[in-house]
Amino acid sequence: MKRIKNEFTRRDFLKNSAFVTSTAAGASLLVGANPELEAATGTAETNTASRTTALAQCPYCGVGCGTVIQVENGKIVSMRPDKDHPTNFGLQCIKGLTAAEPIYVDRLEGDSYVRKDVWAEWNKPGHGDLEYTSKTKGSFDEEHFVRVPYEKAGEMVDHKIAHLAKKYTGNSIALYGSGQLTMEGQYLENLFMKGVLGSNTIEANARMCMTSAVTGYFKTLGSDTPPLAYDDIELCDMIMHFGHNARESHPIIFWRAADHKKKNDIPTVVVDPRRTGTVMGYEDINPKNTIHAPVLNGDISFLNSIAHVLLKDHKDVIDWEFLKAHTTGWKEYVDAVTNSYSPEQVQDRMGGPNHDVSPDLIRKVAGMFADATRKRLARSKGKQASSGAGSETGYGGVIIMWGIGYNQHIHGQNNIVSIVNLLTLTGNLAKPGCGPFSMTGQPNAMGERFTGGLTGRLPFNEPLKNDAHRKHIAKHWRIPEANLVNAMHAKNPGMAVGMMERALKDEVKAMFLVYATHIDLPDTENLVRPALMKTFNVVQEIYRHAPNNLYADVIFPAATWGEVDGVYISSERRINICEQAAMPPEGCRPDLDMVIDKAKGIGKLLGLDMEKALPYKKKENGFYDTEEILRDVIKASAGTDTDLTGILEVEKIDGLSPYEQLKKLRGIQWP
């Protein structure tokens, strides 16, 4: 579908957003007054003898702002917003601007840390008890550790994990990964766990924040493919936020939405128990078309009651043609919301004192929703859908965004289904300027989903149980398909939490903790930490006193963002380059390198041809060539709903490598 081009520049954006709210004004004035924070281009011409730069996606939330890392004397010293990036136009929030500050604080470096009693057991004749775990967990004091060269510690880990996999199956080995790893690293983690070990016990902190959105998208749209781009913000006629304080959690998104509201006076609705900064920011612009709906526990009923009002009082905005041709269950949905979800019928679900969501308020929101939809219809000559091109397809309507607060319900998936149902009912789907838009909380949570680094998943939005795709992935991973079949049959009920429950019952024997902390899991005191006391834990960590180190049997010092090459994927499906700006402290290795080393060492002990599976070479800096791994990912994506092979076609024609294309274009969105 052809997208309406936005004809505004960074200068226009800065000028118009400067006084949208005190937040936006403060940020833009700060950048303008401090040359160290002034937006940069990130080109080689800006480098000097003492200062070099590198392009990256900001390492905080999932918005994916472009940032230019500043390096002096081999150290990362500051960040400057990338003025050429289409996400943030040279603006950056305080999180991104201060991303350099924690990099060198309390850093691990040098040799690996191994618990003294674990190392003593390993050095007994025959390596002692290979199932031994430390008795000193709960402390990360130096007295409990011995420093061991990386290769020797790795050899011990390889033998212990291979022993456990042979005796208790590969599914006794768990990995808890992260939405902060590079996409290349996430891809190889999944290869290691499912392809080498045959384990289905791979989870990530993305499970805690985004799984409701993922499963909601799959259940309604058939794919975990957020169907919008940030450019849609400037095309819409109304924005709703559910459980999403954008002003704090995704400031650039809020600034773009607030700028659009200021220039075009669009209505905004924030559904949140609290009167957040997002509410107040919109009220500063126009309180008359800003609504705060303080729903406490009835989001689904609130959405369904809007649908009820639209079906009763605004029949002209219902897309009956699309419902009949392209959806299932629409009759049951229409009957249910018509008969059981009037604004009066849902009042008992809207909350209690201080949570006044009256029938009149619901009808007012529904009226705004209908008016915004009519504006889109007017641009498409009154047609909900059009086969024409250009302006005949129409644009605008309603965007519904939601944040982590909306996902983290017992019925989180149904929350998302209810949003998609309402948008589908009114034709606010698959057109520019409207649709459902999940806002991710981590810079590469989308990458974790894309690479399938969760229980039961494979890369490119497909499940392990898909026979054809399983064969396809086994071929591209260059491993026996039988290993993936083993992973498919292996059970991990309860997923991230279930992994810990199984560990507590001695079903999980060892755990890798990679760029994720156990404290983001629920029931830390009664479940997670008691479980980690029992398992053999291998931690890849940046900080000496990070929580995981309390329960680590082995700690491998890791490199962090800015010290490695790779890509992240933002909330709008944009693949962004993250260049290595500086070398990490001595002894710190990229997580990707460590997963390759583990996979090779353990895989060989399990009888696999790991040189065939992982043929990657190291660069002059001693780290593996991540661009070659990205090429492998791209090749494997062929024919999927996340097909990236056009990047390799461009390389053949123009000679630009994948990373060069990402730098030049400031990211590429997958379909």
Give the 3-state DSSP-derived string for 226-276, with helices as H, strands as E and coil as C: CCCCHHHHHHCCEEEEECCCHHHHCHHHHHHHHHHHHHHCCCEEEECCCCC
E strand or H helix at 67: strand 66-72
For residues 538 and 602, membership in a common domain is answered with yes
E strand or H helix at 157: helix 150-168
Which string of DSSP letters, residue by residue, matches 366-377? Answer: HHHHHHHHHHHH
Residues 6+ apart with CB under 8 A from 30: 37
E strand or H helix at 541: strand 536-541
For residues 419 and 511, membership in a common domain is answered with no
For residues 170 and 222, membership in a common domain is answered with no
244: containing domain: 211-438
Q: Is the pLDDT of residue 660 over 70?
A: yes
User: Is residue 81 domain-resident?
Assistant: no
Q: Which two tokens stand for residue 260?
A: 């659009």
- The average pLDDT across 145-150 equals 99
Please report the pLDDT score of residue 35 as a whole number.
53
Residues 6+ apart with CB under 8 A from 629: 184, 187, 188, 592, 616
**Over the stretch 353-384, which tens digit does the pLDDT of each residue have?**
777 899 999 999 999 999 999 999 999 887 77
For residues 583 and 457, membership in a common domain is answered with yes
**Over the stretch 279-321, which tens digit does the pLDDT of each residue have?**
999 999 999 999 999 998 899 999 999 999 999 999 999 999 9
Strands 574-578, 566-569: pairing is: antiparallel
- Give the residue from 423, 438, 453 where a domain finishes: 438
Residues 6+ apart with CB under 8 A from 342: 305, 308, 359
User: Is residue 481 domain-resident?
Assistant: yes
- The average pLDDT across 153-164 equals 99
Q: Which two tokens stand for residue 396?
A: 């605008």
Q: Which of 648, 616, 646 is nearest to 631 (CA)?
A: 648
CATH number at residue 478: 3.40.50.740
| C-alpha distances in Å from residue 473, one per residue of 183, 233, 483 | 16, 36, 11
Q: Which two tokens stand for residue 332?
A: 């049951």
| Bridge partners (DSSP) listed for residue 540 | 514, 556
**Over the stretch 212-221, which tens digit does the pLDDT of each residue have?**
999 999 999 9
Task: Indicate the SS3 state at residue 140.
Answer: coil
Note the pTM of the prediction, 2 decimals: 0.92
- Give the residue from 438, 472, 492 where a domain finishes: 438
User: Is residue 223 domain-resident?
Assistant: yes
Number of domains in the chain: 2
For residues 390 and 449, membership in a common domain is answered with no
**Over the stretch 403-452, which tens digit does the pLDDT of each residue have?**
998 998 889 999 999 999 999 999 999 999 999 999 999 999 999 999 99
Residues 6+ apart with CB under 8 A from 451: 183, 186, 187, 189, 190, 459, 633
User: Is residue 27 domain-resident?
Assistant: no
